[in-house]
Amino acid sequence: MASNALGQDYVKLALHLNKHIDGLVDAYFGPKALIDEVANEGTLPLATLDQRCAELRGRAASEVAGVERRTFLVKQLEALAAQIEAKTGQPFPKQGDFRQYVQRLFDIDPTPADEAELEAHRQQIAAALAALGYVGDLADAVARWEQDRYVSGPALLDLINHVLEEARKRTKQIVELPPGEDVRVEAVQNQPWSGYNWYQGDFKSLIQVNIDIPRTRIETEDLVTHETYPGHHTDHATKEMVLYRGRGFLEESIMLINTPSAVLSEGIASTAGTFIASEEPDADQQIATLLRKLRRGCDVNATLMLHDQGLGTDACREYLETKGLMTRQRAEKRLSFLTHPLWQPYSYTYWAGGRLVEEYYARAKRAGKLKEAFEVLYRHQLTPSGLRERMGAL
């Protein structure tokens, strides 16, 4: 593997920072020697890590020749610097500070979701539900529609396995999968998320499905494509194959929460089902897509209500129930995510990432450049601003 002092120092910085921000490192599958080295150094003060981060940003800006890699490293390090600063001081003392923090984390414009757009989604959902016979109070109609389509027990596991195999077949038609790649699925409880891909390196993933949350058939299908093919597993495995093992980019052996790369990762996963869809969506799928967009927009607005506007959890819960058309159980689960110390800003990765990748895919499709688009999404070091530039070129 190519010599990579800058990549090594980037990995060591992240591993050290993970001691202060538990869960920052989502996965690491690089040289074990770096883990041992970091362990032997003990827990370094945040001030020391802040200095190292600043030095690395300067080195990345001056030493890395390729624009794409240089931009990736500089923006990733900016996100780490923002997290160090938030950890050392009083976070977000005044309105606007949280939004600036989100901008530094994710390389995006952290505007709220447009309430007029969300209302249009609600009206479309109401019309589609009425056509299926679900009328009356909209939140109640959504709850009844979802309840009628819940899948659980052995049927849920059968559905997951079926969707996984079919999605893998279709993914192989658009993306070159690494040899020996594999996915394992297990059920869990008492987690703030609905599903999680624990990428383990060597092209292997463990998918955990949170069975606390009732889910419909379409939600289950979306979960599988999001976490496996052509979502997170496909994204992680192909980048390990091409960027880490192929090009020797050591920074690609570590995956970090609350950084620009997470926006693209969630954007790809959120659009994954569209990449391999074989037919036009039926009425249930249209409703499910609208609900997902509505709820992700409401997640973003609830995030700002909590951490930028200083509103309490009761107000946010009511907003999620009434505007996001969520049951009390679902709203409570969302609040546990939005108030979690690590996951507070993360809703933006789904909202902004999904919209960005969806638009890029749509433009590439209109331009007849889907092959090129998949090459970019799965085999390049991406930042949101970098993908926006590529979109402009289309």
204-210/182-188 β-pairing: parallel
Q: For each of the chain's 394 residues, which pLDDT tens digit applies?
A: 345 899 999 999 999 999 999 999 999 999 999 999 999 999 999 999 999 999 999 999 999 999 999 999 999 999 999 999 999 877 777 888 999 999 999 999 999 999 999 999 999 999 999 999 999 999 999 999 999 999 987 888 889 999 999 999 999 999 999 999 999 999 888 888 788 999 999 999 999 988 877 789 999 999 999 999 999 999 999 999 999 999 999 999 999 999 999 999 999 999 999 999 988 889 999 999 999 999 999 999 999 999 999 999 999 999 999 999 999 988 999 999 999 999 999 999 999 999 999 999 999 999 999 999 999 999 999 999 999 999 988 8
Burial of 131 (0-12, 13-18, 19+ CB in 10 A): exposed
Residue position matching structure tokens 């331009």? 367
What does the alpha-carbon distance between residue 150 and residue 193 come to, in Å, rounded to a whole number?
Answer: 18
Contacts of 146 (CB under 8 A, 6+ apart): 214, 216
Amino acid (1-letter code) at residue 261: S
Q: Determine the pLDDT at residue 127.
A: 98
Residue 11, both tokens: 């990995």
Q: Where are the domains of the chain?
A: 5-94, 115-393
According to the model, what pLDDT value does residue 213 have?
Answer: 74
**Which residues, other chains included, contact 233 with Cβ-Cβ below 8 Å and sequence gap of 6+?**
181, 183, 197, 199, 205, 207, 227
Q: How far apart (Å, rounded) are the C-alpha atoms in residues 210 and 223?
A: 11
Backbone φ, ψ for residue 131 (5° rounding): -65, -20
pTM: 0.94
State whether residue 96 is helix, strand or coil: coil
Q: What is the pLDDT of residue 260?
A: 98
List, in order, residues 6 or more apart from 190 with CB less than 8 Å away: 212
Strands 150-151 and 215-216 turn out to be antiparallel
Rg of the chain taking only CA atoms, in angstroms: 21
pLDDT of res. 170: 97
Any idea what DSSP says for residue 380?
Answer: S
Secondary structure, 3-state, 117-183: HHHHHHHHHHHHHHHCCCCCCHHHHHHHHHHCCEECHHHHHHHHHHHHHHHHHHHCCCCCCCCCCEE
pLDDT tens by residue, 49-90 = 999 999 999 999 999 999 999 999 999 999 999 999 999 877
Is the CB of residue 53 less than 8 Å from the CB of residue 21? Answer: no
The residue with tokens 């996001």 is: 324
Count of C-beta atoms within a 10 Å radius of residue 307: 20
pLDDT at 2: 41
- Residue 154 confidence (pLDDT): 82
Q: Return the number of other C-beta atoms located less than 10 Å from residue 286's C-beta.
A: 15
